[in-house]
Amino acid sequence: MMHKTLRTTSVGSFPKPESLQRMRVRYRRGDVSYEELKAAEREATERVIRLQERLGYDLLVHGEMERGDMVAYFAEHWQGFSESLPVRSYGNRYYRKPIVEGPVQGNPGLTVESWKLAQSFTQQPVKGMLTGPYTICDWSFNVHYPDRRALVLDLARVVHEEAKALEEAGAKFIQIDEPAISTRPEEIDLAIEAMGIVTEGLTAHTISHVCYGRFDLIYPALLDLPVTQLDLEAANGHFALLELLSRYPWPQDKELALGVVDVHSHRVESVDEVKAGIRRALELIPPERLYVDPDCGLKTRTWEEAEAKLTVIAEAVQQLRDEEGLS
């Protein structure tokens, strides 16, 4: 059962067990079968679900054990992409930036199997997880489409088909991540138009996670993103986001999922500081429309850190429920 107010969720990725990471390397070398790799992913997914259930989370994620990078995963499974040489991202981390070299075509149902697997472990709803068209474009090289707009809008059609497949499989919550949209404020209208294509006609609850950037540069335009719920990081910016939100009335038809622990820090927040952040948010947004979660995916943290941070959120919410008499 989900609570009716002040619900808890997670953004997306969880830390991958070292044994699974080793197995992926061995699978690429041909030393491990596809079935063995899938069995390891299945075991890791169950562990992710069990942790969220044990902590009493309302809306669960599957943890993305089958994915490396959130854009490369789709590029590897869709037509029109090839893989480039490694590109440096942060510090000494490298990733392979996809190249769009032909018309993009999806593979509707690609994400259904991992969603179904996770959902089979729990009665709580599990989110279907997609990456948005704007972010896929922004994190790829384009040598086929005449401009970014043409690529983004064609990707929106493909992401929409995948969202439909999730919905038809039974997903009641579908998240379309757009971390890149806060990095180029001049393109916010394009990102909004593309999300309109993705969510058109869906009956599922739609969510979009945005992070990394300057929310002040895309606000209040961000409120026009056509999804039911915006999921925004706040802890990393010491909750300055709430000052921005306080300048405009929060839309009646939107929910906010507020990031209340920093995923880029080893430090585990105290229950009191998380409670203080949530209390400030409750002054702006009614508890029926407020979710809380970590700032971003947890894959950069160790399992112990991820568990500790999720535990702090669960405790903070439980105390607030008791103190405020929330159901």
CB of 106 or CB of 179, closer to Zn ion: 179
Residue 294 contacts Zn ion per CB under 5 A: no
151 binds Zn ion (CB under 5 A): no
Considering only CA atoms, which of 170, 32, 20, 173 is closest in space to residue 109? 170
Stretch that binds Zn ion, among 73-81, 200-208, 253-261, 292-300 (CB under 5 A): 292-300
User: Measured at the alpha carbon of residue 198, what is the angle toward residues 141 and 218, in degrees to the nearest 5?
Assistant: 70
Residue 180 binds Zn ion, judged by CB under 5 A: no
Total interface residues for Zn ion by CB under 5 A = 3
Q: Is 100 among the residues that bind Zn ion (CB under 5 A)?
A: no
Strand partners, 231: 209, 257
The span of 68-76, 103-111, 172-180, 195-203 binding Zn ion (CB under 5 A) equals 172-180
**Is residue 181 involved in binding Zn ion (CB under 5 A)?**
no
**Residue 185: its H or E element:** none
Nearer to Zn ion, 8 or 236 (CB): 236
Say which residues have a Cβ less than 8 Å from residue 174's Cβ, sequence separation at least 6. 127, 128, 130, 163, 166, 167, 202, 204, 205, 206, 207
Output 88 or 264, the one with its CB closest to Zn ion. 264
Q: Minimum distance between the CB of residue 240 and Zn ion, rounded to whole angstroms? A: 17
The CB-of-42 to Zn ion minimum distance in angstroms stands at 25
The verdict on 260 binding Zn ion (CB under 5 A) reads no
Q: Which of 296, 302, 295 is nearest to 13 (CA)?
A: 296
The span of 42-50, 113-121, 179-187, 264-272 binding Zn ion (CB under 5 A) equals: 179-187
Instruction: Please state the closest distance from residue 10 (CB atom) to Zn ion, in A.
Output: 11
Answer yes or no whether residue 296 interacts with Zn ion by CB under 5 A.
yes
Residues 6+ away with beta carbon under 8 Å from 58: 2, 3, 7, 8, 9, 124, 291
Of the CA atoms within 13 Å of residue 19, those in its CB half-sphere come to 9
CB of 263 to Zn ion, least distance (A): 8
235 touches Zn ion (CB under 5 A): no
Cβ closest to Zn ion, residue 165 vs residue 227: 227
Distance separating alpha carbons of residues 243 and 175, to the nearest angstrom: 25
Q: Between residues 128 and 297, which has the closer beta carbon with respect to Zn ion? A: 297
Which amino acid is located at 54 in the chain? R
Q: Residue ranges of the alpha helices (H) in the chain?
A: 18-28, 34-54, 72-77, 112-120, 133-138, 148-169, 188-199, 240-246, 271-282, 303-324
User: By CB under 5 A, which span of 64-72, 205-213, 247-255, 270-278 interacts with Zn ion?
Assistant: 205-213
- Smallest gap, in angstroms, from Cβ of residue 212 to Zn ion? 7
Rule CB under 5 A: choose which of 15, 63, 179, 287 binds Zn ion.
179
Q: Which amino acid is at 3?
A: H
In degrees and rounded to multiples of 5, residue 9 shows phi and psi of -150, -175
Q: Contact positions toward Zn ion, by CB under 5 A?
A: 179, 211, 296
